[in-house]
Structures are given as structure tokens and as C-alpha cells.
Structure 1
């Protein structure tokens, strides 16, 4: 049983509140300081050891305050033997109520500097309070954006295990001197000196030290401690309102052009899904055949949905026999044996043009602007004798006849066309970007258009690329220059 002391209950409550104010932000369990004085763990210790434990906990208390707590928690009874008469367990339970009373918002004490850290700052007026809040939020934002942990900046003064004259406060007490606070402040260039002085005055204790741990706690309340979001790179495509040439041809024409270009046979692959040779298969099997032949990437969802109803009968089966017959018309003419005088031609570049090229469809006004622009460029190239082909070849490492639009612009700027505007580059790219995008520029067609060779050069190139023909024998003179006599048969003819 704990008997009443000579001190009033209000003073004891104030002393316990002071200890709670000290231990709550530091998360100190006071019971651990009494274990060394109670080896048998019966919950009591002597008055001298009780005072030693109080001084070890951290808060500075006078001898009178220690005696008051010692007398208040002294216990009498038949099982209490001197000198272990102070019940420190009751004292620890009274102090630990600050941790076990539910949510921290329901506590009478909080971790805010104004109540738990015994700050002496009082704003003079509303403007000073507003200036302080602005400086505090600015400090919190700087710490968040730059990844600065404020309490680690003062770890050399607060957590150094070696005793030093510069450390005037207790070990891990969360306080430094004002000079140490200003010297280690991490944002001297970003924040004015007046705001730093205002923060120092706000978190100054009664002893004149700066409680940086309270400042760190206030900053942590407005700073998010969640893990940073995982970096992402979402594909956001710009809306393209251009009309392309392949949108005007049917899906059958696209497949026919691709089949001619790749020289593939469709009929045999469809027969793998038709063991009875009925000439029909399902729509999913059609897509599988296109995937096997590497044609699925060239046929979009809209084209596929347009193709299936064209050859589907009422029960939903796809008539691949008629489809293959329409595709193979480019290779051979049906029933050719019935017309002996019919003439056929082999597939050429025009047969595969629909599959290989996909250009932007321009209006007449844009085409007129393009013709005017190329006339100017063609005149300048002919007048200054500019050879652009080697520069384009240097950019085309794979030798596929296409370069990027940026590479085209760099070549034109480097070869005497600095006045080429961005709108003119876009106009040229709409003409010569023929792969279904606005990036790959066909410089081969561009050179054929603006650097037209002379007629003599064309004849020479045609003769150079023509098949070899041997020398024809002379009709009137032999190798020695004598006249060849005409025979009588030849003369009569």
C-alpha cells in the first residue's frame, strides 16, 4: 500500500507530467533504468537507487523533487522490507500511461514542440506567426525535394560517443547550441538569414539551446515517408489526323500485295486445318495462318474484321478456297488455257506498291505548296551544283533508302539550306515518309525529284545497265579497209 506524502497531489502530477514530456518524443521505457537495482524483480528498490534511476532517465530534477517522488511511491506492509521500500513499478505505470492511452491524438501530451519540448517562443503578432509557418513549410519542402534528413545534420553534436567540450547537452538529447544550429543548417543559401533566426527562436528551450529534434518532428508530420513511386514511361501517342493511302485499299489487296512481295502460298497452310479438304475453316484459324506467314503485323484489327465477313458463310465458317483464289490472281490468270491468245505479265513493283508504301494523302493546296518548295530547292541545287546523295548515304548505315526526319534536316542545314523552316520540313515529310509513319524519310525518292539527271546521263546509265551485246560485223569494209563485194544473190534481192 502506498501512503500519502507530505507533498500535494498537484505537485506530484506536475513532476510526472514533466517526465512524460521528456520520455514520450524519445520513446524511453523508464522501467529499464530500475532493473539493475532490483535483481530479484520484486518491484521495489531503495530510495537512494530510486533517485539514481531518476537522474539517469534524463530530465533534470532537484533534490526536493526527487524526495517528493520517493516519498509518494514509498510502500508499507508486512512483505515490505527495508531498504527496498520504493515501489518503482507504480511509478513506471504512471509514466507509461502516455504510451498506452490509445491514439496519440487523445493524449493530453503531444509531440509538438509547444507542449512537449517546453519552448519559450511566443509570437509578437500574427505577421510573425505567418512568417514562421512560411519558413517551416519551406524548410519541409526543401528537405523533401532534396532528400535531406534534418536530424542527421546534427548527429556529430548529438550522438558523438566521445566526450567533447563542444557538446554541452546530454548524449542523444536532441538539442544543440544556437551557434551549432546555424553552422550546420543545410539550407543557408536557399533561405534568408531572418528565417533561420526565426526558426532558432521558435525552437529555443529555457536553457537557450535549440531543440532540432522537435523541428525534425514537425517537418516529418508534413513530409510523406512513403516509398517513391516506381518510375514509369507511359506511351502517350499524339493524335494523328492524317489520311494514309493504305486506308483506301481493301484488306484483300493488302494481303495480295504482301503475298506477291514475300512469294508465299496461302492455300497449303489453310489445308493443314482442313483435313477433309472441304475448303472451309474458322476465323481463329485464319488468324493463325496469317501469324505463321508473318502477315498478322501488316493486317490490323479493322482490316481483319473487314475481311472475315467477305468470305464467311451462314454457319460462320471461312471459305479459304475462294480467298486464296482471289489472292493468287496476281500470280496467274484463271482459265488461261481457254484463251490461247491472251498475254500475261509477271508481277512487278506496281504489284507490291500497295503493301510496301503508305503515304499521306494531301490536299491540292498542300501539293501546290510542295511543288513550289521543290522548284526553289531544285533551282538552287542545279545552280550551286550541290550533291546531297553522299551526305544521305552517310546517315543511312543500313542502306535501306530511309533515314529519320531529324537526320534529313541536319543534312539540309549542313549543305546550304539554313532557311528551311519547320513547316517546310513537315510538308516534305508528308510527301516522302512512305512507311506509314512520320519518322522514316525516303531520301531516294527525294533525290530523284529534286536532282533530276540530264538526258545524256540517263542514256548513259541505261546503256551501262543494259545487257551485254557483242560487236556487229561491218557490212561494207573488212578489217583491212577493203570494200566487201556484194554477192549476186544479195544484189538480186
Structure 2
């Protein structure tokens, strides 16, 4: 049984760690099975909750031991007491062990995620170095409000608290004085022992947060915590401390929120305002509560003034707001805060004018105290009855004070009453009495107005830690460094501004050096990227682009302008001048660091290398060997680099023999700091013929094809009047406004528009114009000022004249005539002989219709399914036959009728039977729509 209980306790420790790390309540997993909230579940339900809630894969004996520990016989069944199990897991205080201190009974998880630290022991020097780093970076992170968790949580999608080592390096917030070696040591310190290449950043975050709270002594073998990073170099003197204490007491007593009086002057929330604004906010804040002289106000201003003459009010507000408490106290419930002495913040008693009055006051108070003690009076309750109007202000009027003394039969003379009033009256108003102080003076059992004699020591203002390791950047070639960065930007196609503008929310063109380093690391200029920038190189680069107004900041836009010349070659506003030619970007490409300039090699060496290369080339061509796959087998990351030994191994495998001397020369020519560049070696060994660019030739062919234009127009109009007649007819039929389709292309309302936009507007209007007809309109309304524009306003006015005349309000006597579109039948022109034939034919048909009162329209309408007033020629002939009018018309006369009443609709030639019927009825003198 003891062994089983030991296994059960091990499982409890695992569950306790899981619960503390996830911040969940154990009982919540069991309540779904306990509807009556009895605190008991069955064995199967208990096992299911363990499996589903805590992700445990327990053996049968361990589960049996855990169930046996909490199993209870209840109501004739064996049930598991999950409530007692939850109390054991979550317990922080055992009420049955009062002889032990409560904090000793708290069960802590070994780590914030339940993982142990790395099992690889660090040397004392490394441990001491890590201790110093934590003490150094904690105040910096505290002042700048940087948290480790927020820096890495974007990589931790599942909120497990672990990330890879490259991710740990990539987003590490670099404070001053921390280099790459220090970060590598931190990664080694917080490496997960069970997972290779994984770092537990949440443990690192936990240690830094504890260091911020002053708990470094517990974590790092008793070393004191670092100071809070407030950028203040001078210490407050005694007079200034008195001013601070006086203002702090007033702010605490009256509950004043100091930032509210300065925030309106700080629109950008930079925590910096002018000197006059600071004075106005200070006097508005505590001017009527604390009597401050001009010299005291000026002393405060000088203490918080910056070199540019402005005042950093946030430091003053932080000192005032946290006078008697610590910030974020809800996250640190066990912190002991500074407490003022009892009665220190209350109103002080007045000092009488002469020692005789003080002696007389002592006699009066002793007499009253003896009387109160003899009669065992509880006085404070009687005085509080006069202090219930709005709140307990601890004041009452002099009249109420006299009435209360008379009610308690504590009779004093008039002169003695005046002495009591002068002693206990409010020094500011002079009309109220501080009755708690009087009650305490005469009632020794009342201690509500006591003042302690000893107080806490004043807290000193901390200083800013500075980096203690100097970095020599004198040997760095900045021009070569910038060229390397340009090469990296060009090959990776990176936009520099994307990595820095988030750090510059106010667009001041200046960011801190730490943010500048983070942006460079994100661009790949770090140990994890393609180009490892050292601390000396970063210092030289940041000094080159340093902000003249702030030595700790960098002008990142100047850096961006110099780097992105690889794309624009310093041509400003290149997007506005697309015809400007720029230099080829290939000139910014550099070889890998460590590559030898082969142009300076001796001629004997070059001849030896050329002979070896020619011999290998002939060997490859004869055997038709594929060289690249052999090298790619050793290049797992496809970087085009292999080691020297791998290069020799590949040559031996491919049968490309070379002497030791030739091998050394080849290695010298194609080796850089990363290794042997086999891509360049293969390009020289098997050069490929450069492919011919056929883009220009293809463009010429496309131009030839596009120039072959075939007109698809059918019967286009040839003059401007007929085109305008067509437009007017379309507009009056569909009741549209042409101006509505054109004015959007004229934002400035100049009355003209480009010819391309005019074509587009006519097409959107749906006027049905053919391209040649549109060109006729463009030529007719071409702008005399600019040949590329069209006077569309004149065109729209001319079209709108079919409805009314422009500026008609200036000529009220003019009678406008509405445009009537011509019937298409009227445009059909006949010869003189054809007119005579048409006249005779119509008269014959009219006599027949008049005589027989023939109805023409019904039969025509039967064939007009779409009701557009037209029928085909065959349908026209058929209707005449059905009406018995066909015998009166021969073929010649029928052709004349077709030619006269022909109409085109949709490219099809039909007969307008409405015009034909109207003409017959008119000749027959038959009125329509009349019986």
C-alpha cells in the first residue's frame, strides 16, 4: 500500500503542475457527471475525467492506487470523492494545521510549465554571467514595458511556452550591453532537456518578471535586484523631498488622479509637455490643496526638465501615484508596500499663540479627561451624529461642538471654549472643529487619531543602468558593410521599410537602436540569417545613421534610402517618370565573403587551373556525365556549397582526377567562408549557351498582326448630321441624359475630356454607334485648344436640345420645338415612275378596303409576335392574299410597296405594316378607332 500511495502522489504532482500552468480548476472536469453536486462520481467517470481532462496515460495499477486513495462507500455503492481530490490538488492552506505558517503549506509547481531546467550543468562562471544578465535586463524591460512573452508568443501558436532556438534568437529584445554570445548562453540555460533544439521561453519570462519584482535574491543565490530604469541622473535634495511628501499626502487624502491634469496637453501621448503646461497642470491639480510657492513650482520644473526645455511629466505622475503603493499590485498580492505612519496623513493640530494658553489647554483637557474616565463616557458616537449629511468628514461646526459639550455636561467657560476651538479648528477654513482629535485628547481608550513615532525610510530614486562592455568599431569598413546589405536585399527581394515602420508609429523617421537591431535581425542580418552582423558592425552602422537630436536613436529612413538604391539608383519619384533608364542591378551583386579575386592571380596558376579544367571538360563530354546530382547529394539545404573534403570526394567518384597541386588551386579559386562553391565550378566547367531573347521579336510579330484591321461595320453613316440624327433618335426614344455618362470623366468640370474617355462614355451610354461614326463625332466636336480632347459639353447640349433649349430662362418668349424622330419609311426615296406606280396601287387597294370595310391590322398583328410593327416580305404577301387584295397587285407594284415600306431592324430587312395600313386607311377615308 505505501508504494501505491507513492505512485498516486506522483500522479498528483503531475496533475498539480498541469493545473497551475493552465490556470484551470480541477472540479470543473467532474461536475458534468455530478448533477446533484454531491462531490462523488463513479470509478469509470473518474477514469474518463483523468484521461480527457489531464491528458494522462496511466497504467492500471496507478489508476487503481489513485482511486483507492479517494474511494468511499456511500449509499451502498463504491464512489470516488473527487471533491477531496480537487482540494488536495489545489490546496494552498490547510485549516487543520494552524501550528504551521500558511505560506509553508502552499504547493508550488517546479516551473511555470511544469518542466525542469536543462539537465546540463553550467559552470559557475556561466551561472554568474546569466545572473548578471538577468539583473541587467530586468530594469530595462520594466521601464520600457517589454515582456518576454509578447516578444515570442507569435511563434507559439498553441500557447505551449516553447519555441525553437532560431525563433528564440530572431525576436529576442536586445537591451544595451547584450550581444549574440550572451543570447546563446541564455538559450543554453533555458533549453528543454527532453526536446532537442527547443527553448522554454516562458521560464525565461517567469525569471525576468520575478527579477522585476525584486525576487532575484531567491532565484539567483542572494544577489540584490537591479534598479528601476528611470532616466534620471540627479538625486532629489532634502527640500525637494519635502515638496514631494507634501504633494503625495494631498494626492492620497483627496484621491487625485494626477495624469488627468496633464494628459490634455499631451495629444501624442509622448509624456512630454512644455514648462508652462506643466505649471498649469500642477496648480490645477493640487493648487487649492497644497500651498506651493513659485520657487517650489520652479524647483519641480527644473528637476523634471529635459535638455530641450520640455518637461517629462510621467515621472512626476508615477512618483505621486505610487507614493504609498506599488504599481500592478493585483499581480503581486504578497508584496509588502510602503505604509505611512498612522495619523501622518490626517490633519495636524494648531499651535496656540502663547505658552500660557498651551498650559491652560492642558489643564482643561486633564479636567475633561478625568470627568470622562469617571463617568465612562463613549463620546465619539455622539459627535458622529452631527457628521452624517453626506459622509464622515471628521468635522463639525463650532455651534455643534458647543451643543455637544453641553449635552454631555462637559461644561467649560467661554474663554476655555475659545481656546479649545482655536486648538482643534481646521487651519484652512477656521470654521469647523476636528472632533476626532478632541475625543482622543480627552478619551484615552479612543485610538482613532494616533500617530506612530517611527516611519519607513524614504525610497531613493533609482538610476539607469548602462552597458559596461566597450565595443571597438574602428576597424569596420562601413562602405563594404552597406554593399553586403545591398546584396542581401537584392537577392532576397526585401523592402526595408516593412521591417522598421512599425517601430515608428509617429513617423518621426527615428527609432531606438534596440528596435533598429530587431529590424535588422528580422531582415536576416543575424546569426540565424544569411549574413551574420557582429556587434562591432552594428555599432558602426548605427553610428553612421545616428540621429543628431538623439544619440540613442537611428534615422532608419536614411538607411532605407541608401540600401534601396539597388532598385532605383537614387532616382527620386521613379514611379512618376517610367521612361527613365536605370542601371542594371547586377552591378550590386557581390561574391560570398572570402572569395579570392582571381583576376590578380599569377599567370602560372591560371594556366595550371585552365589545363585542369580543360582536361576535366573533355572527360565529361566524352563520358556524358551528369555532375550536379553528385554534388547535390551533399548539399542538403540547396545552398550551392559543399565542404572541401566533399568536393574531393565528388571528383573521385566522377573520375575527374587532378593532382594535389591542381586540387589546392581549384579550392582557392572557388572557396569562400561558407565552403566550396560548386555551382560556380560547374558553370565554368560546363558553360551553357545563352538563350536568345525573343521578346522583342515577339512584340514585332504582335504589332504586325494587330495592324491588319478588317472592318466589320455594316452600312455606316458618312456625315455628322446623320450621326447626330441617329443619336437624337436613340436618346428621345429611351429618354436618357448623355451628360450623366460623361461628367464622371471630367472631375474639374472643364467641359472637355480625352478622346479615349469620350469613346468609353458613348459605349457606356449604349447609343449603338459604330467606330467610324464615333470618329465622325470626335472630329466634329474636337477641342480647338487641345487636339487630344473633345468638347463633350457642347455635344451633350446639342443632344439635349431635342427636349428644350439651353438658358431658356433668359429668353422666355421663345417657343421651343420638340424634336420628332423621322420615320424610317419616310427616308426611303423612290423615283418618279415608282411614285406613280405607288400612287395607283394605293388607290386601288383603298377603294377595295373602303368598299368592303376591310380590317387590315388584325391579320398583320397575328404575324407580329414581338409587336414591333414589322413583318417579313413573305408574311406581307400572305396577309394580302388572305385579305383578297393580292389579285389587285402585280409583281412590279409589290416590289414598289416593299421598297417604300422597307425598314431595317437588327440587320434584317422587314416591312413596316403600320405605315402601310395608315396610308391605305387615309386614302380610303376611314377613321381609325371609330366604329
TM over 0.5: no
Larger Rg: 2
Higher relative contact order (CA 8 A, sep 6+): 1
TM range (shorter): 0.3 to 0.5
Q: Calculate the TM-score normalised by the size of structure 2.
A: 0.21
